Amino acid sequence: MRPPGSARGPRPTSVARVPGIDYDVLDTLLGYALRRAQIAAFDAFYRATAGHGITPPRFTALVIVGANPGLSQTVLGRVLGIARSGAMLLTDWLVRRKLAERRPHPEDRRSWGLFLTLRGESLLADLKRTVRAHDGQLGGTLTETQRRTLLRLLRQLAE
Amino acid sequence: MRPPGSARGPRPTSVARVPGIDYDVLDTLLGYALRRAQIAAFDAFYRATAGHGITPPRFTALVIVGANPGLSQTVLGRVLGIARSGAMLLTDWLVRRKLAERRPHPEDRRSWGLFLTLRGESLLADLKRTVRAHDGQLGGTLTETQRRTLLRLLRQLAE
DNA sequence: CTTGATTGTTGTATAGCATTACAATCCGCC
DNA sequence: GGCGGATTGTAATGCTATACAACAATCAAG
């Protein structure tokens, strides 16, 4: 049984193929291959951040706030592709964990500037290391060249 | 206002990069590139299936049932990587839309065999065409060779 | 025939969003 | 300088897609 408030994070979905099943057209679709690959990536991410309650959007938020101190919640939401209300909930979570803080924006009294706390900086540094390590292992069977090719093609795909 | 039961499907998340933002380490992570690419792929899928209320898992379910008639809900769940209860809800949706039906399994009175209806077969044929077309356009700027390379690398990544 | 596993089902809970509405504030224009 | 429209954060509400646990019916193995 899971204590409701504990840092647990989501459970990774299985990526294993079921033997004896015909996957038909799915095997020719980029979209489906992307989904499977992303499940594997999520699995690696989950292992890297186990126990911290960190999810991909939360990690992204930490990185973005860390690299762009003082940005507003609205901008954070746009970066993450979520609504303002969602960006606020996400920020609430970071603030509650004392990883980030809202400071009054010097030039706009409607908005906050977001900053990492020392604790946030430190956690982010740790996370960057482990996430990068697990992301590297992700292409376990991929050579460094293949990895770079994949990265380039993915980026090109997303325009 | 959305009529609750209408076929509407989820809204695609934006994939656009926000100018003036430093994405820091994210740009070196396969996991992040995968996420962005998948958003683009989902967008293409959404356009392909607009108005049918079809989501990726539903499409996958249609394809799998179509190519493996008579399979059970439990197996369908395993293929999709979801719990049995979820597979049941998904099946309920297909049955309600008269796209699939449950027939008593000849050898196991606990389970159902899943089959597409004629309507399901026909919709699936349509969907395969449009989804494949949009999936092809997905790599708009990708050459056919690049597309095949990407597919191969993605498959290798997911083992 | 009994014991343990499996299947579908139901009920309950949760996370993660969206949508809408609102007050405070900003900005451009008269 | 003041007014109207846009923008910001926030709150309230709701939905969707999942999970998990518990249950009866059924199967399978000894």
What is the per-residue pLDDT for B12? Answer: 54
The distance of B27 to chain A (nearest Cα, Å) reads 9
- Residue A111 has which token pair? 């908005």
Residue B140 carries which DSSP code?
Answer: T
pLDDT in tens, chain B (159 residues): 233 333 344 555 666 789 999 999 999 999 999 999 999 999 899 989 987 889 999 999 999 999 999 999 999 999 999 999 999 999 999 999 999 999 999 889 999 999 999 999 999 999 999 999 999 888 778 899 999 999 999 999 987
Q: Which residue range forms the structural domain that includes residue A86?
A: 24-157
In a domain, A17, yes or no: no
In a domain, B2, yes or no: no
Closest by CA to B93, choosing from B125, B52, B130, B122, is: B52
Q: Tokens 């990883």 — which residue? A: A99
Contacts of A36 in chain B (CB under 8 A): 154-155, 158
* A34-69 residue pLDDT tens: 999 999 999 899 989 988 899 999 999 999 999 999
In a domain, A18, yes or no: no
In a domain, B30, yes or no: yes
- The CATH code of the domain that includes A135 is 1.10.10.10
Q: Catalogue the E-assigned strands of B71-138.
A: 100-104, 112-116
Mutation for testing the B interface, residue in A38, A114, A123 having most B CBs under 10 Å: A38
Distance, C-alpha B2 to centroid of its chain: 23
Contacts of A33 in chain B (CB under 8 A): 150-151, 154-155, 158
What is the per-residue pLDDT for B137? Answer: 86
Q: In DSSP terms, which residues pair with A112 in a beta bridge? A: A104
Instruction: Report d(CA A10, CA A128) in Å as an integer.
Output: 19
The domain tally of chain A equals: 1
In a domain, B109, yes or no: yes
The mean pLDDT value for A6-16 works out to 53
In a domain, A113, yes or no: yes
Is B61:A21 a contact under the CB 8 Å cutoff?
A: no
For chain B, what is the radius of gyration of the CA atoms?
18
In a domain, A4, yes or no: no
Contact A18 B78 (CB under 8 A): yes
Contact A154 B25 (CB under 8 A): no
Q: Which of B79, B132, B150 sits opposite A153 (nearest CB)?
A: B150
Q: pLDDT averaged over chain B?
A: 89
Task: Output the CA–CA distances (angstroms, integers) from residue B119 to A113, A115, A129, in the order listed.
Answer: 54, 55, 52
Cβ-based neighbour number of residue B15 at 10 Å: 17
In a domain, B17, yes or no: no
